[in-house]
Structure 1
Amino acid sequence: MLPLKVDSYLDLLGKTPEYASLLSSARRLNEAQLTFSKLIPAQLKQYCRLGLILDGKLTILVENGAVASKLKQISPSLLIKLQQRGWKVTAFQILVQAHNSPKNSRPFEKQGHSKRKSKLSQTGKECLTQLAATMSDSELKKTIQFFVRKHQDTSIDYNDSET
């Protein structure tokens, strides 16, 4: 029911002179995006958005370099398909816009990362202490000793296989 109300509202808004041009452009861009999505491989659809067409150059905004690379590979055949559909396109400009993707805008923790500090196991501490004991005085030895001391108070016993 909600999409119907929004569509009705947009149709009504589109009849006002102030918004008619804007909504007409938005509809054309949406139709162009749908057409473009049908022409590119399915695995790329969610990572590509159309930009402007200026002087025959179509700007395509992509999420990452891999998608940009794939689009560059298929660009000759894609260009022919678009021209066959009446698009006045002679070239592409592919821009990587990684941070504009809704997928990449998730908080850091939701992407499987955690702010939790790693803790060094008892076996790991013992191994590092033994290593430091065999070393001559150096920055590396001091760093290892500092690292072990730092983890003394926050220790948790893990399996002996973990370090």
Structure 2
Amino acid sequence: MTSYKVNSYLNLLGKTAEYESLFSLAQQLYRDQLTFSKLIPAQLAQYCNIGRISNGRLTIMAENGAVASKLKQISPSLLLKLQKLGWEVTAIQILVQAHFLSINTESSANERDSNNKKIILSQTGKDCLNQLATTLPDSELKNTIQSFLKKHQGY
């Protein structure tokens, strides 16, 4: 239920003038990542992410050198596939972003494996959420944040 509330809030926030372009860019990047993941071998897709396209150059972040090497091998055919889909890409740049994906993957796996562990919210996090809640008008989001803070008072 709470994730529904957060998604509703994010959808509403994405329609505001201040955040519309940011949310639009994030959604486009997500769609592009899904498309990219379908174009490369499945065993590589989980170890790399696309970045932005700037001046016709697509940046791909790979978890390690082996993944980067394989991506470099398939980059000519990948470039052709992307161009056929209408992407305005003329070059591919591959960067190794060591440990980023492995750390995130490991933490996600650990969270799934240990559902009994409680996540502890730092005092700074509590203070920031409390400050946010006080600035919000009466709404479902404000109530949800306040409820969340009440649940995590003792931690």
Which TM-score band applies after superposition, normalised by the shorter structure? 0.5 to 0.7
Say which SS state the counterpart of residue 92 (structure 1) adopts: strand
**Is residue 2:29 matched to residue 1:41?**
no
Task: Tell me the alpha carbon deviations over residues 76-118 of structure 1, each in whole angstroms, 9 at most, x when there is no partner.
Answer: 11111101110000111100001212447859xx9xxxxxxxx
Listed as ranges, the gaps of 5+ residues in structure 1 are 111-163
- Seen in structure 2, the aligned counterparts of structure 1 residues 104 and 13 have a Cα distance that, compared at 3 Å, is closer
Listed as ranges, the gaps of 5+ residues in structure 2 are 111-155
- Runs (4 or more) in structure 1 with deviation over 2 Å come to 1-7, 102-107
* Matched letter for residue 99 of structure 1: H
**Is residue 2:84 matched to residue 1:84?**
yes
Instruction: Give distance in 2, aligned partners of 1:19 and 1:102.
Output: 30
What corresponds to 1:72 in structure 2?
72
Instruction: Give distance in 2, aligned partners of 1:2 and 1:96.
Output: 36
How many pairs align?
108
Percent of pairs with identical residues: 67
Q: Please, what TM-score do these two structures have when normalized by structure 1? A: 0.61
- Seen in structure 2, the aligned counterparts of structure 1 residues 30 and 106 have a Cα distance that, compared at 3 Å, is closer
- Seen in structure 2, the aligned counterparts of structure 1 residues 12 and 105 have a Cα distance that, compared at 3 Å, is closer
Give the superposed CA RMSD: 2.0
What corresponds to 1:63 in structure 2?
63
- The structure whose RCO (Cα within 8 Å, separation 6+) is larger is 2
